Amino acid sequence: MATKKFKTEVTDLLQLIIHSLYSNREIFLRELISNASDAIDKLKYLSLVDGSLKGFSFEPRIDISFTEDGKRTLTIKDNGIGMNEEDLNSNLGTIASSGTRKFLSSLTDEQKKDSNLIGQFGVGFYSAFMVSDKIEVISRKAGEDKAFRWTSDGKSSYEIEEAERSEQGTTIILHLTEDGYTFANRYEIDSLVKKYSDHIAYPIYLEYDKVNYNYEKKDDKGEPEKTSEHVVEQINTCSALWRRPKSEIKDEEYKEFYKNNYYDTEDPLFYIHTKAEGATEYTTLFFIPQKAPFDMNYADYRPGVKLYVKRVYITDDDKTLLPTYLRFVRGIIDSEDLPLNVSREILQENRVMASIRNSSVKKLLSEFKKISENNPELYDKFIKEYNRPLKEGLYSDYANRDALLELVRYHSSSRDGYVSLKSYKEHMPADQKSIYYLTGGKEETLKASPLLEAYKKKGYEVLIMDDDIDEIVISSVYEYEKLPLKAINKAAAMDDLKEEGDEKEKEEKKDLVEKIKKALADKVKDVRISSRLVDTPAVVVNDDNDPSAQMQRIMKQMGGPEMGDVKPILEVNASSPLIRKIEQSSDEEYVKTLSSIVLSSAMLQEGIMPSDPVAYTKAISELLSK
C-alpha cells in the first residue's frame, strides 16, 4: 500500500468545497453520475476506434446502491473505461489545469460560496467529501488485468493498493457522515437522479430492498406481515434531449439540461436548438451562460462544446468545433455524417465538420442579432458579458465581419449605455461624413479628453472604445456601410472639422508654430494649429501611420517588435491664454519651459506618462517661481 500527499491545490480545493459549498450538498450525486457517464462515453468511443479496444463488447450501465444499517454507505458503479494506478494518481491526486490553479488563488470569500465553482473546476469528484468522511474508489482499466483501490479521508493524503474487480469500470463507495445519511435513501436518490441526471444517455439502476406489507396476514404482535424483496429498477428515462423535437421539449427541460450538464446553478441566458437536414444532417443545442466562464480570457480555456456522432460521444476538448471568439458557448453538436472513428486531426480538415462549424457560427450570430432587435434588455445582459470576444471576431473572422459589426457595442460621448454602429449612423447629423471613435484608456478618462470638444460643439457623437483590445481590432475595420471609421486622436480626423478661416489662421500663426517647434526640438514630430480645441490649450495626436501610445504598450506586453521612438504631434489652441503667453514672449528659456509644460500636460490628459516626469515637475516649479 502506497500513501501519497495531495497536491497543494487539491487540499485547498477540498477545504473550499467542504466548508464553503456545504449548503448545496446534493450536487455531489450529479457530479459522480456525470463522471460515470463520461467514463462510459470514453470506452464506447475507444471500442469503435482504438486498436487495442476495438470491438470491445459491453452493455453500458450505472448502478447505485446503499446500506441503511450501522455506518451507512452509498455506492455508484459504472462499467466505463476505468482507471489504473497512474490514472488514479493523476485524476484524483492533482489538478491538471493551470487555469484552475490561477482561478482558485484569485477567489474572494464571497465567490467561494458559489456552488457553480465545482463544475467550473471540472473536478466534481471531490464534492463527494461534502457528505463523506471516507471514500473508496475501486477501478480496473479496460484492457488491463489489475484493479486498484484508492482510499482517502479528504484531508491531506490518499492510499493506493491492488484490489479485485471482475470487469472494467469504477466503483465509488462513500462512507457517509451522519449529516449525509439522508442520501442513503431510495426516495432521495430517485428524486435527485430525476432532477439532475434524467438526460444521461445510459440506464441508471437503483438497487435496494423493498419491504412489502400483507395486511391480510398478521404476525405474533398483530402487525401486518412483512416480506423483503430485492429490487433493481431503472430510474432515468435515458434519452438525449437534443435529439427530441423542439416542440416536445419544455423550457424548464432545456434549463435543467443545461444546469446539470454544464455545472451551473443559474439558468442559461438563452439557448439555440437547431436540426439541419439536407446535404449535411446534424443537430446542435447551444447555451449562452448568464455569466462569462471564469477561464474565458485564459489561453488554456476549457472549450464548452461536445461533439457526438449519431449520439456517440467523440470529444469535449476540441477547440476547433467553434472559433475561439465563441469560446463562451456551451452545448452539443451531433452529426449524422461524420465517421465514428474521426480523429482530432481529421476533424480540423473534414469538409462535413467545416460545413457544420460554418453553419453553426452563422446561426449563432443570426440569433444574437434577432435578440438584439427583439429583446434589447436581454441583449444588454449578453453584451456586458461577451462584448470582448465578439470584438475579437472582428479581427479574426473576416467572413463574418459584417454580421459581427452589427453585434458589437461601444460606449458613447453623448449617450449612456451601449451604442451599436447602426444606432450611431441613425443619430448622425446630415453633414457628418465619418464615424468617429477614441481609444486609449478607461471610459472616464476618454470621456474627459479635450479631443472631444470640437466634435461635441458640432453635434458629432464619438464612440468611446475603452476595451484594451479595441485599439488592435478597430485598426482592421476601415468602414461601416460605406462610412469611414476615423480615430480622433489621429491627425487626419481634423480635416473633417476644418472651417472657413482655418487656413488663414494657420498662415498667421506660422511664427508661433516655429517658436514652439524650436523650443521642443526633437520631442515632437510636428506642431500644428488645432481646429478641434475650444477651451484646452493643446492636445497630442498621432500621425495617421504611427501607432498610438496604447498600441505601443499592447505590443510591448505581447512581446512584439520594438516600435522605436514614436513621437506625437502637438496641436495647439492659438486662442488659449497659455499659448498666447508663448506667442508674446521673447524669453527663450521661458518659452522652452512653458512649451515643455504644455506638451507634458497634453500627454497626461491622454493618459500618457511624460518621458521625463522629473523634468516636468522641475519645469512647473521654475514657472511658478517666476
Q: What is the pLDDT of residues 536-580, one digit of tens each?
A: 888 888 876 766 666 666 655 555 555 556 788 888 888 888 888
Task: Give yes or no: residues 371 and 454 share one domain.
Answer: no
Among 187, 210, 234, give the residue marking a domain's end: 234
Among 388, 418, 436, give the residue marking a domain's end: 388
- When pLDDT is cut at 50, 70 and 90, the band that residue 102 belongs to is low
Q: At what angle do helices 376-396 and 351-374 cross, to 10 degrees?
A: 140
- Whether the pLDDT of residue 27 is over 90: the answer is no
Tell me the pLDDT tens digit for each residue of 378-392.
999 999 999 999 999
Task: Give yes or no: residues 273 and 202 share one domain.
Answer: no
- Whether the pLDDT of residue 117 is over 50: the answer is no
Q: Are 485 and 478 in contact (CB under 8 A)?
A: yes
Which of 223-232, 247-256, 452-461 has maximum average pLDDT?
A: 247-256
- Of 335-339, 415-419, 479-483, 493-497, where does mean pLDDT reach its minimum? 493-497
- When pLDDT is cut at 50, 70 and 90, the band that residue 118 belongs to is very low
Among 208, 234, 260, give the residue marking a domain's end: 234
Rounded CA-CA distance 151/166 in Å is 19
Rounded CA-CA distance 542/329 in Å is 38
- Whether the pLDDT of residue 146 is over 50: the answer is yes
Q: How many domains does the chain have?
A: 3
Q: With pLDDT > 90 as the criterion, what percentage of the chain qualifies?
A: 42
Residue 205 buriedness (CB in 10 A; 0-12 / 13-18 / 19+) = middle
Per the domain annotation, does 608 fall within a domain? yes
Task: Give yes or no: residues 154 and 283 share one domain.
Answer: no
Task: Give yes or no: residues 419 and 511 share one domain.
Answer: yes
pLDDT computed for residue 103 by the predictor: 53
Compute the average pLDDT of residues 502-529: 83
Residues whose CB falls within 8 Å of the CB of residue 376, separated by 6 or more in sequence, listed in order: none
Q: What is the DSSP string of 142-197?
A: TT-S-EEEEEE-SSSEEEEEEE--SSSEEEEEEEE-GGGGGGSSHHHHHHHHHHHS
Residues whose CB falls within 8 Å of the CB of residue 536, separated by 6 or more in sequence, listed in order: 450, 453, 573, 576, 605
Task: Give yes or no: residues 432 and 551 share one domain.
Answer: yes
Task: Give yes or no: residues 369 and 427 share one domain.
Answer: no
If one counts every other C-beta atom within 10 angstroms of the C-beta of residue 226, the result is: 11
pLDDT computed for residue 555 by the predictor: 58
Of 441, 405, 445, nearest in space to 423 by CA: 405
Task: Give yes or no: residues 187 and 246 share one domain.
Answer: no
- Whether the pLDDT of residue 111 is over 60: the answer is no
Per the domain annotation, does 343 fall within a domain? yes
Compute the average pLDDT of residues 45-65: 89
Per the domain annotation, does 349 fall within a domain? yes
Tell me the pLDDT tens digit for each residue of 188-211.
999 999 887 887 889 999 999 888
Rounded CA-CA distance 136/490 in Å is 66
**Domain region containing 20:** 2-234
- Whether the pLDDT of residue 308 is over 90: the answer is no
Rounded CA-CA distance 290/283 in Å is 23
Q: What are phi and psi of 58, to 5 degrees?
A: -160, 160
Task: Give yes or no: residues 444 and 563 share one domain.
Answer: yes
- Of 55-64, 390-399, 605-614, where does mean pLDDT reach its minimum? 605-614
Compute the average pLDDT of residues 105-130: 60
Tell me the pLDDT tens digit for each residue of 157-180.
899 999 999 999 999 999 999 999
The C-alpha cell at 508 is 498667421
Per the domain annotation, does 401 fall within a domain? no
pTM of this structure: 0.70
Compute the average pLDDT of residues 480-484: 93
pLDDT computed for residue 98 by the predictor: 43
Task: Give yes or no: residues 325 and 263 share one domain.
Answer: yes
Chain mean pLDDT for the chain: 85
Looking up residue 486, the CATH number of its domain turns out to be: 1.20.120.790
Task: Give yes or no: residues 460 and 608 share one domain.
Answer: yes
Residue 469 DSSP symbol: T
Per the domain annotation, does 199 fall within a domain? yes
Looking up residue 298, the CATH number of its domain turns out to be: 3.30.230.80
Task: Give yes or no: residues 246 and 225 share one domain.
Answer: no
Residues whose CB falls within 8 Å of the CB of residue 237, separated by 6 or more in sequence, listed in order: 198, 199
Per the domain annotation, does 399 fall within a domain? no
- Whether the pLDDT of residue 373 is over 60: the answer is yes
Q: SS3 for 37-99, per residue?
A: HHHHHHHHHHHHHCCCCCCCCCCCCEEEEECCCCCCEEEEEECCCCCCHHHHHHHHCCCCCHH
The beta strand positions in 377-512, using DSSP E, are 411-412, 435-439, 462-465, 479-480, 483-487
Task: Give yes or no: residues 224 and 264 share one domain.
Answer: no
The C-alpha cell at 406 is 452589427
Per the domain annotation, does 398 fall within a domain? no
Q: With pLDDT > 70 as the criterion, what percentage of the chain qualifies?
A: 87
- When pLDDT is cut at 50, 70 and 90, the band that residue 99 belongs to is very low
Looking up residue 67, the CATH number of its domain turns out to be: 3.30.565.10
Per the domain annotation, does 433 fall within a domain? yes
